[in-house]
Amino acid sequence: MTPDWVLLDRHTTGPLLHPGDAAFHDSSAAFNERWAHRSPAAVLRAADRADVLRAIDWARDHGVPIVPRGGGHSYAGHSVNSGLVVDLRALDVITVDPGSGQVTVGGGVLTGALYAALRPHGLALPLGNGAGVGIAGLALGGGSAATSRRLGLTADTLRATTLATAAGTVLTCDDQQNEDLYWACRGGGGGNFGINLDLTFQAVEAPAAATCLLLWDVAHAPAVLAAVQHLMRTAPDETSLRLGVATSGGRTLVSTVGLHLGPAADLRDLLAPALAAGQPLRAEIADRDFWDAMDYLKHETSGGAFAVRTHFAADPLPAEAVDAALARIAEAPRSGNADGCGLALFGWGGAINRVDPQATAFVHRDAQYLVSLDTSWLPGEDPAPHLDWLAGLDHLIAAHTTGGAYLNFTDPDLRDWRTAYYGANYPRLVATKRRHDPDGLFAFPQSIGS
- Binding-residue pattern over the window 98 to 127 for ligand FAD, x denoting contact by CB under 6 A: ---------x--------------------
84-87/94-97 β-pairing:
unpaired
CA neighbor of 362 nearest in space, from 157, 198, 162, 170: 157
Q: Output 71 or 168, the one with its CB closest to ligand FAD.
A: 71
Q: How far lies 275's CA from each of 148, 219, 225, 288, 314, in Å?
A: 25, 14, 11, 21, 24
Among positions 151, 173, 195, 246, the unique one binding ligand FAD when judged by CB under 6 A: 195
Q: Report the SS3 class of residue 391.
A: helix
Residue 188 binds ligand FAD, judged by CB under 6 A = no
Q: Output 135 or 396, the one with its CB closest to ligand FAD.
A: 135
Residue 240 binds ligand FAD, judged by CB under 6 A = no
How many Cα atoms are found within 13 Å in the side-chain-facing hemisphere of 339? 19
Shortest Cβ distance from residue 226 to ligand FAD (Å)?
26
Contacts of 321 (CB under 8 A, 6+ apart): 396, 397, 399, 400
Q: Output 252 or 446, the one with its CB closest to ligand FAD.
A: 446
CB burial readout 416-445, b (16+ within 10 A) else e: ebbebbbbebbebbeebbeebbeeebbbbe
Site for ligand FAD in 37-76 (CB under 6 A): 67-75
Q: Output 156 or 221, the one with its CB closest to ligand FAD.
A: 156
Gap between the Cα atoms of 441 and 277, Å rounded:
54
Secondary element (H or E) of residue 283: strand 282-288
16-17/42-45 β-pairing:
antiparallel
Shortest Cβ distance from residue 277 to ligand FAD (Å)?
26
Residue 158 binds ligand FAD, judged by CB under 6 A = no
Site for ligand FAD in 283-312 (CB under 6 A): 300-301
Q: Output 217 or 295, the one with its CB closest to ligand FAD.
A: 295
Shortest Cβ distance from residue 241 to ligand FAD (Å)?
14
Q: How far lies 423's CA from each of 154, 333, 442, in Å?
A: 20, 34, 21
Shortest Cβ distance from residue 220 to ligand FAD (Å)?
26
Residue 136 binds ligand FAD, judged by CB under 6 A = yes
Q: How many residues does the chain have?
A: 450
Q: How far lies 71's CA from each of 98, 111, 342, in Å?
A: 26, 9, 25
Residue 130 binds ligand FAD, judged by CB under 6 A = yes
If one counts every other C-beta atom within 10 angstroms of the C-beta of residue 354, the result is 11
Residue 280 binds ligand FAD, judged by CB under 6 A = no
Residue 190 binds ligand FAD, judged by CB under 6 A = yes
Angular region, 5: left φ>0, alpha ψ -120 to 50, beta rest = alpha
The stretch among 54-62, 140-148, 213-221, 433-441 that binds ligand FAD (CB under 6 A) is 140-148
Q: Output 110 or 224, the one with its CB closest to ligand FAD.
A: 110
Q: Output 280 or 350, the one with its CB closest to ligand FAD.
A: 350
The residues that touch ligand FAD, with contacts defined as CB under 6 A, are 31, 67-75, 78-79, 88, 107, 128-130, 133-134, 136-138, 140-145, 190-191, 195-196, 300-301, 408
